[in-house]
């Protein structure tokens, strides 16, 4: 094989790699969109991870890349917003207040999950309330290892 033939073969292989990388990026983008759509519909991280054949930590990283899961410092804020929303949706005010006043994030997450089971009405899908609720749900599931 001459040097020119070798160079041409290398260029063809590199073009093929570049095209494969573009297809992978497009597939990953489509997968990430489906993951966010699943979260918006209230599907648990565990169910999403199973369907996507990924680990739960990977799902949280994907969610976090688009600011759906706040950084650790914002987790308390997400849970507090969720607890306030639960009270507005007719959930148990005392449980919401206990969760808001809890200093421990896991205790706050447990209170959120307990109160979420008792709401009178659900937030409308894709509404601001829904995103607040699903963000708090994602944080609670993450903190409690679900």
* pLDDT score, position 67: 46
Phi, psi of 29 (to 5 degrees): -65, -45
Place of tokens 């148990």: 92
Those residues with Cβ within 8 angstroms of residue 31's Cβ, 6 or more apart along the chain or in another chain:
52
Those residues with Cβ within 8 angstroms of residue 85's Cβ, 6 or more apart along the chain or in another chain:
123, 129, 132, 133, 136
C-alpha dist (Å) from residue 104 to 98, 109, 143: 11, 9, 11
14-23 pLDDT, tens digit each: 999 989 988 9
- Please give the DSSP secondary-structure letter assigned to residue 91: -
Q: Quick check: 144 and 107 in contact, CB under 8 A?
A: no
45-86 pLDDT, tens digit each: 778 888 998 876 677 777 765 544 455 557 888 898 899 889
Those residues with Cβ within 8 angstroms of residue 128's Cβ, 6 or more apart along the chain or in another chain:
none
87-144 pLDDT, tens digit each: 888 888 888 888 889 989 999 999 999 999 888 888 877 677 887 888 888 889 888 8
* pLDDT score, position 23: 92
pLDDT of residue 28 exceeding 60, the answer is yes
Q: Quick check: 42 and 59 in contact, CB under 8 A?
A: no
**Which residue would you say has higher pLDDT here, 35 or 65?**
35
Q: What's the sign of the alpha-carbon dihedral 40, 41, 42, 46? A: negative
* pLDDT score, position 71: 54
Smallest Cα–Cα separation from 32: which of 55, 74, 65, 78? 65
């Amino acid at each position: 094989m001459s040097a020119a033939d070798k160079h041409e073969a290398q260029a063809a292989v590199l073009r093929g790699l570049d095209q494969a990388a573009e297809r992978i990026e497009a597939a990953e983008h489509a997968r990430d969109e489906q993951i966010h759509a699943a979260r918006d519909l209230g599907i648990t991280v565990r169910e999403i991870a199973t369907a996507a054949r990924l680990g739960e930590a990977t799902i949280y990283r994907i969610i976090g890349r688009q600011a759906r899961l706040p950084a650790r410092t914002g987790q308390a804020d997400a849970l507090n917003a969720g607890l306030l929303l639960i009270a507005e949706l007719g959930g148990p005010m005392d449980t919401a207040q206990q969760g808001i006043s809890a200093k421990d994030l896991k205790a706050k997450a447990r209170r959120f999950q307990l109160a979420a089971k008792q709401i009178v009405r659900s937030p409308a899908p894709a509404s601001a309330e829904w995103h607040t609720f699903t963000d708090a749900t994602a944080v609670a599931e993450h903190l409690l290892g679900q």
